[in-house]
Structure 1
Amino acid sequence: MSTILKIFAFPAAIFIMCLGILTVLGGHITPGGGFQGGAMVAAGFIFCAVVYGIERSPFQFSHEFMSAMESIVALGYVGLGLCGLLFSGFFLYNLGVDLYGVSHAVSGFFNYPDPTDAGIIPYLNIVVGLKVMVGLSAIVITFMEFRGEEVTE
Protein backbone atom coordinates (compact mmCIF):
# COMPACT_ATOMS: atom_id res chain seq x y z
CA MET A 1 0.00 0.00 0.00
CA SER A 2 1.09 3.56 -0.59
CA THR A 3 2.38 5.85 2.13
CA ILE A 4 -0.37 8.36 1.48
CA LEU A 5 -3.04 5.72 2.04
CA LYS A 6 -1.37 4.59 5.27
CA ILE A 7 -1.26 8.18 6.55
CA PHE A 8 -4.90 8.80 5.62
CA ALA A 9 -6.42 5.49 6.78
CA PHE A 10 -6.11 5.77 10.56
CA PRO A 11 -7.62 9.28 10.99
CA ALA A 12 -10.37 8.43 8.50
CA ALA A 13 -11.13 5.20 10.39
CA ILE A 14 -11.36 7.09 13.69
CA PHE A 15 -13.75 9.58 12.08
CA ILE A 16 -15.91 6.79 10.61
CA MET A 17 -16.00 4.99 13.97
CA CYS A 18 -17.03 8.19 15.78
CA LEU A 19 -19.86 8.70 13.32
CA GLY A 20 -20.92 5.10 13.91
CA ILE A 21 -20.95 5.58 17.68
CA LEU A 22 -22.97 8.77 17.22
CA THR A 23 -25.45 6.86 15.05
CA VAL A 24 -25.83 4.13 17.68
CA LEU A 25 -26.28 6.54 20.59
CA GLY A 26 -28.72 8.79 18.74
CA GLY A 27 -30.63 6.00 17.04
CA HIS A 28 -33.74 6.39 19.17
CA ILE A 29 -34.33 9.98 18.03
CA THR A 30 -32.75 10.04 14.56
CA PRO A 31 -32.83 7.73 11.54
CA GLY A 32 -30.38 4.92 12.11
CA GLY A 33 -29.57 2.94 15.17
CA GLY A 34 -27.75 -0.16 16.23
CA PHE A 35 -27.36 -1.94 12.90
CA GLN A 36 -26.32 1.10 10.89
CA GLY A 37 -23.94 2.39 13.56
CA GLY A 38 -22.41 -1.03 14.14
CA ALA A 39 -21.79 -1.39 10.41
CA MET A 40 -20.08 2.01 10.36
CA VAL A 41 -17.80 1.13 13.29
CA ALA A 42 -16.97 -2.19 11.60
CA ALA A 43 -16.19 -0.30 8.38
CA GLY A 44 -13.59 1.80 10.20
CA PHE A 45 -12.00 -1.32 11.65
CA ILE A 46 -12.07 -3.10 8.28
CA PHE A 47 -10.56 -0.07 6.54
CA CYS A 48 -7.53 -0.20 8.84
CA ALA A 49 -7.26 -3.98 8.55
CA VAL A 50 -7.21 -3.81 4.75
CA VAL A 51 -4.73 -0.91 4.53
CA TYR A 52 -2.26 -1.96 7.25
CA GLY A 53 -2.77 -5.72 7.15
CA ILE A 54 -4.25 -7.82 9.90
CA GLU A 55 -0.96 -8.12 11.82
CA ARG A 56 -0.09 -4.40 11.84
CA SER A 57 -3.55 -2.89 12.17
CA PRO A 58 -3.99 -0.32 14.97
CA PHE A 59 -7.16 -2.19 16.00
CA GLN A 60 -6.27 -5.79 16.71
CA PHE A 61 -8.92 -8.12 18.08
CA SER A 62 -8.27 -11.80 18.66
CA HIS A 63 -10.72 -14.47 17.62
CA GLU A 64 -11.31 -15.36 21.28
CA PHE A 65 -12.13 -11.74 22.14
CA MET A 66 -14.55 -11.45 19.23
CA SER A 67 -16.26 -14.71 20.14
CA ALA A 68 -16.59 -13.74 23.80
CA MET A 69 -17.88 -10.26 22.94
CA GLU A 70 -20.47 -11.65 20.54
CA SER A 71 -21.72 -14.07 23.20
CA ILE A 72 -21.89 -11.40 25.91
CA VAL A 73 -23.76 -9.00 23.63
CA ALA A 74 -26.25 -11.68 22.59
CA LEU A 75 -26.89 -12.46 26.25
CA GLY A 76 -27.38 -8.73 26.89
CA TYR A 77 -30.04 -8.57 24.17
CA VAL A 78 -31.84 -11.59 25.59
CA GLY A 79 -31.49 -10.12 29.09
CA LEU A 80 -33.18 -6.87 28.03
CA GLY A 81 -35.93 -8.90 26.42
CA LEU A 82 -36.39 -10.97 29.55
CA CYS A 83 -36.63 -7.81 31.68
CA GLY A 84 -39.64 -6.83 29.62
CA LEU A 85 -41.07 -10.33 29.90
CA LEU A 86 -40.54 -10.46 33.65
CA PHE A 87 -42.04 -7.07 34.49
CA SER A 88 -44.76 -6.77 31.85
CA GLY A 89 -45.42 -10.17 30.32
CA PHE A 90 -44.13 -9.13 26.88
CA PHE A 91 -40.67 -9.94 25.48
CA LEU A 92 -38.72 -6.73 24.69
CA TYR A 93 -41.41 -4.55 26.25
CA ASN A 94 -40.22 -0.93 26.37
CA LEU A 95 -40.08 -0.61 30.15
CA GLY A 96 -39.12 3.05 30.44
CA VAL A 97 -42.12 4.26 28.46
CA ASP A 98 -44.64 1.96 30.19
CA LEU A 99 -47.40 2.42 27.64
CA TYR A 100 -49.92 0.19 29.38
CA GLY A 101 -48.96 0.90 33.00
CA VAL A 102 -47.82 -2.65 33.70
CA SER A 103 -44.22 -2.12 34.82
CA HIS A 104 -44.07 0.57 37.50
CA ALA A 105 -41.39 -1.33 39.43
CA VAL A 106 -38.54 -0.79 36.94
CA SER A 107 -39.70 2.15 34.86
CA GLY A 108 -37.54 4.51 36.91
CA PHE A 109 -34.37 2.61 36.04
CA PHE A 110 -34.87 2.78 32.27
CA ASN A 111 -36.44 6.25 32.29
CA TYR A 112 -33.65 8.79 31.95
CA PRO A 113 -34.03 12.51 31.18
CA ASP A 114 -34.52 12.39 27.44
CA PRO A 115 -36.94 14.55 25.49
CA THR A 116 -38.45 11.58 23.71
CA ASP A 117 -38.61 9.16 26.68
CA ALA A 118 -37.07 6.21 24.82
CA GLY A 119 -37.04 3.53 27.52
CA ILE A 120 -34.85 0.54 26.67
CA ILE A 121 -34.47 1.42 22.99
CA PRO A 122 -31.03 3.11 23.44
CA TYR A 123 -29.78 0.06 25.32
CA LEU A 124 -31.03 -2.21 22.55
CA ASN A 125 -29.29 0.02 19.98
CA ILE A 126 -25.99 -0.31 21.86
CA VAL A 127 -26.29 -4.08 22.10
CA VAL A 128 -27.26 -4.49 18.44
CA GLY A 129 -24.47 -2.10 17.36
CA LEU A 130 -21.85 -4.12 19.22
CA LYS A 131 -23.21 -7.38 17.83
CA VAL A 132 -23.14 -6.10 14.23
CA MET A 133 -19.68 -4.59 14.67
CA VAL A 134 -18.22 -7.81 16.03
CA GLY A 135 -19.99 -9.99 13.46
CA LEU A 136 -18.91 -8.01 10.40
CA SER A 137 -15.36 -7.60 11.70
CA ALA A 138 -15.08 -11.32 12.43
CA ILE A 139 -16.11 -12.17 8.87
CA VAL A 140 -13.43 -9.91 7.40
CA ILE A 141 -10.77 -11.16 9.81
CA THR A 142 -11.61 -14.74 8.88
CA PHE A 143 -11.31 -13.99 5.16
CA MET A 144 -8.05 -12.07 5.64
CA GLU A 145 -6.48 -14.87 7.71
CA PHE A 146 -7.40 -17.55 5.17
CA ARG A 147 -4.24 -18.70 3.46
CA GLY A 148 -5.78 -20.78 0.69
CA GLU A 149 -4.41 -24.18 1.65
CA GLU A 150 -6.10 -26.96 -0.24
CA VAL A 151 -8.03 -29.58 1.65
CA THR A 152 -6.95 -33.07 0.73
CA GLU A 153 -9.04 -36.11 1.42
Structure 2
Amino acid sequence: MSQILKLVSLPISIILICLGIMTILGGHITPGGGFQGGAMIAAGVILSIVTYGLGNSPLEFSHTYIEVFESIGALGFIILGLVGLFAGGFFLYNVGADILNIIPASIQAIFHYPDNTNAGIIPYLNIFVGLKVFVGLSAIVIAFAGFKKLTEEDVEK
Protein backbone atom coordinates (compact mmCIF):
# COMPACT_ATOMS: atom_id res chain seq x y z
CA MET A 1 0.00 0.00 0.00
CA SER A 2 1.12 3.54 -0.65
CA GLN A 3 2.27 5.91 2.07
CA ILE A 4 -0.54 8.34 1.25
CA LEU A 5 -3.15 5.65 1.79
CA LYS A 6 -1.57 4.66 5.09
CA LEU A 7 -1.44 8.31 6.17
CA VAL A 8 -5.12 8.94 5.39
CA SER A 9 -6.68 5.63 6.44
CA LEU A 10 -6.03 5.86 10.19
CA PRO A 11 -7.82 9.22 10.68
CA ILE A 12 -10.68 8.00 8.50
CA SER A 13 -10.86 4.81 10.59
CA ILE A 14 -11.04 6.84 13.80
CA ILE A 15 -13.77 9.07 12.33
CA LEU A 16 -15.77 5.98 11.27
CA ILE A 17 -15.45 4.49 14.74
CA CYS A 18 -16.60 7.74 16.38
CA LEU A 19 -19.56 8.03 13.99
CA GLY A 20 -20.49 4.42 14.75
CA ILE A 21 -20.43 5.08 18.49
CA MET A 22 -22.58 8.18 17.97
CA THR A 23 -25.05 6.16 15.88
CA ILE A 24 -25.33 3.51 18.58
CA LEU A 25 -25.82 6.00 21.42
CA GLY A 26 -28.44 8.00 19.52
CA GLY A 27 -30.18 5.03 17.94
CA HIS A 28 -33.28 5.22 20.13
CA ILE A 29 -34.16 8.76 18.94
CA THR A 30 -32.69 8.86 15.42
CA PRO A 31 -32.57 6.52 12.44
CA GLY A 32 -29.91 3.95 13.13
CA GLY A 33 -29.03 1.96 16.16
CA GLY A 34 -26.99 -1.02 17.18
CA PHE A 35 -26.64 -2.78 13.85
CA GLN A 36 -25.81 0.30 11.82
CA GLY A 37 -23.40 1.67 14.42
CA GLY A 38 -21.69 -1.68 14.86
CA ALA A 39 -21.24 -1.97 11.10
CA MET A 40 -19.71 1.53 11.01
CA ILE A 41 -17.25 0.69 13.79
CA ALA A 42 -16.35 -2.55 12.01
CA ALA A 43 -15.82 -0.59 8.77
CA GLY A 44 -13.24 1.57 10.54
CA VAL A 45 -11.41 -1.48 11.86
CA ILE A 46 -11.63 -3.24 8.49
CA LEU A 47 -10.23 -0.19 6.67
CA SER A 48 -7.25 -0.22 9.01
CA ILE A 49 -6.67 -3.95 8.58
CA VAL A 50 -6.94 -3.82 4.79
CA THR A 51 -4.60 -0.83 4.55
CA TYR A 52 -1.89 -1.83 7.01
CA GLY A 53 -2.23 -5.60 7.01
CA LEU A 54 -3.19 -7.81 9.91
CA GLY A 55 0.14 -7.75 11.75
CA ASN A 56 0.90 -4.03 11.32
CA SER A 57 -2.53 -2.52 11.96
CA PRO A 58 -2.64 0.15 14.69
CA LEU A 59 -6.12 -1.14 15.62
CA GLU A 60 -5.03 -4.62 16.63
CA PHE A 61 -7.43 -7.07 18.23
CA SER A 62 -6.38 -10.35 19.77
CA HIS A 63 -8.53 -13.46 19.76
CA THR A 64 -9.17 -13.05 23.49
CA TYR A 65 -10.25 -9.43 23.03
CA ILE A 66 -12.78 -10.43 20.37
CA GLU A 67 -14.12 -13.31 22.49
CA VAL A 68 -14.62 -11.04 25.51
CA PHE A 69 -16.50 -8.37 23.55
CA GLU A 70 -18.69 -10.92 21.79
CA SER A 71 -19.53 -12.53 25.12
CA ILE A 72 -20.36 -9.15 26.68
CA GLY A 73 -22.69 -8.35 23.78
CA ALA A 74 -24.49 -11.67 23.91
CA LEU A 75 -24.78 -11.83 27.70
CA GLY A 76 -25.95 -8.23 27.94
CA PHE A 77 -28.69 -8.83 25.38
CA ILE A 78 -29.84 -11.98 27.15
CA ILE A 79 -29.75 -10.35 30.60
CA LEU A 80 -31.84 -7.40 29.40
CA GLY A 81 -34.26 -9.84 27.82
CA LEU A 82 -34.57 -11.76 31.07
CA VAL A 83 -35.09 -8.52 33.03
CA GLY A 84 -38.08 -7.88 30.80
CA LEU A 85 -39.26 -11.45 31.21
CA PHE A 86 -39.14 -11.42 34.99
CA ALA A 87 -40.32 -7.84 35.48
CA GLY A 88 -42.90 -7.55 32.72
CA GLY A 89 -43.76 -11.09 31.76
CA PHE A 90 -42.30 -10.91 28.24
CA PHE A 91 -38.79 -11.47 26.92
CA LEU A 92 -37.27 -8.05 26.04
CA TYR A 93 -40.21 -6.23 27.62
CA ASN A 94 -39.31 -2.53 27.71
CA VAL A 95 -39.07 -2.09 31.47
CA GLY A 96 -38.26 1.63 31.46
CA ALA A 97 -41.18 2.57 29.22
CA ASP A 98 -43.88 0.43 30.83
CA ILE A 99 -46.95 0.61 28.58
CA LEU A 100 -48.89 -2.02 30.50
CA ASN A 101 -48.32 -0.31 33.89
CA ILE A 102 -47.13 -3.48 35.60
CA ILE A 103 -43.58 -2.42 36.58
CA PRO A 104 -42.98 -0.54 39.86
CA ALA A 105 -41.60 2.99 39.47
CA SER A 106 -38.41 2.09 41.35
CA ILE A 107 -37.48 -0.54 38.72
CA GLN A 108 -38.44 1.78 35.86
CA ALA A 109 -36.11 4.47 37.22
CA ILE A 110 -33.10 2.16 36.78
CA PHE A 111 -33.54 2.07 33.00
CA HIS A 112 -34.21 5.76 32.36
CA TYR A 113 -31.65 6.99 29.86
CA PRO A 114 -30.15 10.40 30.72
CA ASP A 115 -31.97 12.23 27.90
CA ASN A 116 -35.43 11.64 29.48
CA THR A 117 -37.00 10.11 26.37
CA ASN A 118 -38.32 7.15 28.37
CA ALA A 119 -36.73 4.78 25.89
CA GLY A 120 -36.31 2.15 28.58
CA ILE A 121 -33.94 -0.67 27.71
CA ILE A 122 -33.71 0.22 24.00
CA PRO A 123 -30.48 2.31 24.28
CA TYR A 124 -28.82 -0.48 26.24
CA LEU A 125 -29.95 -3.07 23.69
CA ASN A 126 -28.45 -0.89 20.95
CA ILE A 127 -25.11 -0.94 22.76
CA PHE A 128 -25.07 -4.73 23.06
CA VAL A 129 -26.24 -5.27 19.48
CA GLY A 130 -23.57 -2.83 18.31
CA LEU A 131 -20.92 -4.83 20.14
CA LYS A 132 -22.08 -8.09 18.57
CA VAL A 133 -22.19 -6.66 15.04
CA PHE A 134 -18.83 -4.91 15.40
CA VAL A 135 -17.11 -8.04 16.67
CA GLY A 136 -18.84 -10.34 14.19
CA LEU A 137 -17.95 -8.35 11.10
CA SER A 138 -14.43 -7.62 12.32
CA ALA A 139 -13.81 -11.28 13.17
CA ILE A 140 -14.73 -12.34 9.64
CA VAL A 141 -12.22 -9.95 8.10
CA ILE A 142 -9.54 -10.81 10.65
CA ALA A 143 -10.02 -14.51 9.88
CA PHE A 144 -9.74 -13.92 6.13
CA ALA A 145 -6.75 -11.61 6.55
CA GLY A 146 -4.97 -14.26 8.63
CA PHE A 147 -5.63 -17.01 6.10
CA LYS A 148 -2.51 -17.92 4.21
CA LYS A 149 -2.95 -19.34 0.76
CA LEU A 150 -1.31 -22.72 0.46
CA THR A 151 1.04 -23.14 -2.46
CA GLU A 152 1.83 -26.44 -4.14
CA GLU A 153 5.12 -26.57 -2.23
CA ASP A 154 3.28 -26.31 1.10
CA VAL A 155 0.95 -29.11 0.10
CA GLU A 156 3.85 -31.39 -0.83
CA LYS A 157 5.50 -30.87 2.58
Q: Same fold (TM over 0.5)?
A: yes
Q: Please, what TM-score do these two structures have when normalized by structure 1?
A: 0.94
2-structure distance, mates of 1:113, 1:14: 26
> CA contact under 8 A between 2:76 and 2:128: conserved in structure 1?
yes
Identity of aligned residues (%): 59
What does 1:8-27 correspond to in 2, within 5 Å?
8-27=8-27
Size of the alignment, in residue pairs? 152
CA spacing shift, 1:122–1:4, aligned 2, 3 Å: same
Could you tell me the TM-score, scaled by structure 2's length?
0.92
Matched-pair contact (CA < 8 Å) for 2:66–2:139: yes
1:86 equivalent in structure 2: 86
- Bigger mean CA deviation after superposition, 72-81 or 114-123: 114-123
Cα distance in 1 for residues equivalent to 2:60 and 2:139: 11
Aligned twin of 1:148: 149
Residue 135 of structure 1: aligned partner: 136
Q: After superposition, what is the alpha-carbon deviation per residue over 1:114-152, rounded to whole angstroms, capped at 9, x for unaligned? A: 242111000000000010000000000000000023779
CA distance in 2, matches of 1:90, 1:151: 55
In 2, Cα distance between equivalents of 1:63 and 1:151: 27
| Conservation of the 8 A alpha-carbon contact between 2:113 and 2:123 | no
1:70 match: 70
SS at the partner of 2:100? coil
**Which residue number corresponds to residue 34 of structure 1?**
34
